[in-house]
Amino acid sequence: MSLENLLQSSEKIQFSKEVTQFYKYLKVINRSDNTIRGYIQDIVLFLRHVEKEFYEKRLEDIEKNDLRDFLASELSRGVSRRSLTRRVSSTKAFFRFLIKQGSITGSSIINVVSPKGERKLPRAVPKEEIFCILTGAFTDSQLDIRNLAIISFLYGTGARVSELIGLNLRDIDFRTGLVALRGKGNKTRLIPAGEFAVGKIKDWLDVRQTCPDAVFTSLSGRRLSARQIRNIINNAIKKASVKMRMSPHTIRHSFATHMLDNGVDIRIVQELLGHVSLSTTQIYTHVTMERLKALYDRYHPHAR
């Protein structure tokens, strides 16, 4: 559902004015569209639940027990604990905003503890599988030259798919190999792309017929979509006869894991990935530890 449709949907609830104000606030502080969509969806769901249970309830009278009842209802519908955690986070952010702007004086909701969700570790693809794709999935055709450049760039930089799609020629310094990526909240970071990836981009630019500002385009010069990028990766996997499933985000996970496996400091990886918080990056240390434990169990004589 688009943000516009979400806001129209929120007009049918009792506190639509406050939801719209919160939406505008999230826009002002540069939250991404996906983040805003998630927040508004969660808040609308919660407020509808409150309306259904207590139609006349005032905003300042909504309390933590209402949120707990809502979470129990969601859990009974099969909603995952990860989604429930997000529901709590969104609702608490909304009520903090209401307090900050003076709509209410306080709320017990901001003290609700998020449910502990299942910790899902990111899946990394072995280096050998990625090298197999980079060396065995492409021909000298114009499209394959472009597709090789795309996958090389994703693995060479750990870029998000949105950052790859939005990449422009002026963002690449071909002399130094440095690339400016625009990440979440429109924040820009400067990172190295590596000689291999930059070389593959040069190959693509040499053969494409059109000259738009966008780096990765269709043959007609249009900027590619996230779905097209996923299809390109899926086709490369099939051609290389690789068994593992892979997405742009899997390649990003693999980039981070392989860097840590080779001894790169976690703060450097944080900078390369564009994570605001180090705790977001620290999940990759769990991935590398899992792999170390697996290797230990497999090869050490006293492991079992």
Of the candidates 57, 182, 249, 291, the residue annotated as catalytic is: 249
- What pLDDT score does 286 carry? 64
Of the candidates 37, 252, 253, 258, the residue annotated as catalytic is: 252
Q: Annotated catalytic, 275? A: yes
Identify the CA nearest to 158 among candidates 14, 287, 286, 272: 272
Average pLDDT of the residues in 190-194: 92
Of the candidates 123, 184, 189, 239, the residue annotated as catalytic is: 184
Identify the CA nearest to 165 among candidates 155, 154, 177: 154
Identify the CA nearest to 35 among candidates 44, 23, 46: 23
CA distance 30 to 186: 7
The confidence band for 254, taking pLDDT boundaries of 50, 70 and 90, is: very high
- pTM of the predicted model as reported, rounded to 2 decimal places: 0.62
Q: Annotated catalytic, 77? A: no
Q: How far is residue 102 from each of residues 97, 106, 187, 304, measured CA to CA in Å? A: 9, 9, 30, 61
- What pLDDT score does 116 carry? 66
Of the candidates 160, 200, 208, 253, the residue annotated as catalytic is: 160
pLDDT above 60 for 303: no
Q: How far is residue 22 from each of residues 37, 85, 185, 218, 259, measured CA to CA in Å? A: 12, 20, 17, 38, 39
Domains in the chain: boundaries:
3-111, 127-299
CA distance 284 to 288: 6
- What pLDDT score does 293 carry? 64
Report which residue type is found at 115.
P
Report which residue type is found at 223.
R
CATH topology for the 127-299 domain: hpI Integrase; Chain A (1.10.443)
> Half-sphere exposure (CA, 13 Å, Cβ side) for 226?
8
Q: How far is residue 216 from each of residues 18, 57, 162, measured CA to CA in Å? A: 41, 52, 12
192 contacts: CB under 8 Å, gap ≥ 6: 157, 176, 177, 178, 179
CB 164, CB 150: distance < 8 Å: yes
- Mean pLDDT of the residues in the chain: 86
CATH code given to domain 3-111: 1.10.150.130
At 77-129, the pLDDT tens digits run 888 888 888 999 999 999 999 999 999 999 999 998 877 655 565 678 899 99
- What pLDDT score does 22 carry? 92
SS3 breakdown of the chain: % helix, strand, coil, rounded to 5?
A: 60, 5, 35
- Choose the most confident range, by mean pLDDT, from 16-20, 202-206, 243-247: 202-206
173: β partners: 178
Q: Annotated catalytic, 252? A: yes
CA distance 297 to 21: 55
- What pLDDT score does 121 carry? 59
Q: Annotated catalytic, 249? A: yes
| SS3 at position 186 | helix
- What pLDDT score does 6 carry? 61
